[in-house]
Amino acid sequence: MMQQLNYHHLRYFWVIAGRGTLVGAAKELRVSPSTISTQLRLLEEQLGEPLFIRQGRRLVLTEMGRVVQSYADEIFALGHDLQRAVVERAGGLRRRCVVGLSDSVAKLVAMRLLQPAFAVSEDMQFTLEERTPDELVAGLVTHRYDVVLHDGPVPQSAPVRVFSHLLGSSTVEWFAPREQAQRLRRTFPRSLHGVAVVLPSRSSSLRGALERWFEQVEARPRVRAEVEDSALLKVLGQAGLGVFPAESAIRDEVERLYDVKSIGVVEGVEERTFAWSVERRIRHPAVQAMLEAGRTELFA
């Protein structure tokens, strides 16, 4: 019969898995590499299997190591939730929800997802931060964010285990000021040939799909601007700088708020929205509300 698991050893393993080296883990834990190596060896002896193999200077998880890491992710995420709940209760603080946002996620999509979360409790305080993908992953690892909203799954290069939850997908449409939209709609999509467009930046997953679509329909528009921020992209389109894309799921809001009209659907192109978390099973009630809103309402 296996003796009771030593969670101190498990935490050492978890940090090594995140850092990839004994030296990096030792620096974070403020102990010597020999100490952390000893703790890892004791855990491997207890479990009866090696958890890492060495590749050059890095330690790479074995199959058993990946299994142990998945459980460790949930164990320490739950421990973090417990600590925060105790602190907030002792200090009379309101419960918080910290959301990391990618600039590629449409602000109108984020708003539709957040509305049900705001309704969970009037006492809950929300913090919304827009960051780069690398910063968002780092924020999840350090438990700064309860959830991250992004237009793609977690990069395979992520240093630790982070889970991608697909909220849904939407077709994409082109929009323009009313008179221009009416004119371009007649012979769409050929009408986009030579027309000024405002496109998402090349770092966006949508950009590549749009470029391939242009080739398929044999249309070569003039790129007037490449924009990382989805809200600024729409503002420039509203000002007449160029035709712009947006999700069909928010068509009504885009047409009303920016005084534009849809030209037509980008056939075969979809924009997906994901929630990233360090938990396989979401526990935070506000984040649960976001997932439910995406899957049953916004992208239904």
Q: pLDDT tens for residues 12-52? A: 898 898 888 888 888 888 889 888 899 899 999 888 899 99
Tokens describing residue 90? 């002792």
Q: pLDDT at residue 77 above 90?
A: no
12 compared with 248, residue with greater pLDDT: 248
Nearest to 99 by CA among 257, 265, 284, 253: 284
What pLDDT was estimated at residue 269? 96
Comparing 94-168+274-298 with 170-270, is the CATH topology the same?
yes
Confidence band (pLDDT; 50, 70, 90) for 80? Answer: confident
The CATH fold of domain 7-72: Arc Repressor Mutant, subunit A (1.10.10)
Distance CA 37, CA 15 (A): 12
* CATH number assigned to the domain with residue range 170-270, chosen from the 4 options 1.10.287.1080, 1.10.3720.10, 2.60.40.3500, 3.40.190.290: 3.40.190.290
Delimit the domains of the chain by residue range. 7-72, 94-168+274-298, 170-270
What pLDDT was estimated at residue 110? 95
Write phi, then psi, for 223 (nearest 5 degrees): -80, 110
What pLDDT was estimated at residue 88? 60
What pLDDT was estimated at residue 121? 86
Distance CA 192, CA 87 (A): 57
Q: Is beta strand 125-130 parallel, antiparallel or unpaired with respect to 96-101? A: parallel
Q: pLDDT at residue 93 above 50?
A: no
The CATH fold of domain 94-168+274-298: D-Maltodextrin-Binding Protein; domain 2 (3.40.190)
Distance CA 179, CA 198 (A): 18
What pLDDT was estimated at residue 89? 58
Burial (Cβ within 10 Å: 0-12, 13-18, ≥19) of residue 243: buried
Average pLDDT over residues 214-224: 96
Confidence band (pLDDT; 50, 70, 90) for 85? Answer: low
Can you name the residues that pair with 271 across neighbouring β-strands?
A: 170
Starting at the earlier edge strand, list the strands of the sheet with 163-177: 125-130, 96-101, 147-150, 260-277, 163-177, 244-247
DSSP E strands in 40-80: the ranges are 52-55, 58-61
Average pLDDT over residues 134-148: 87
Helix, strand, or coil here: 260?
strand
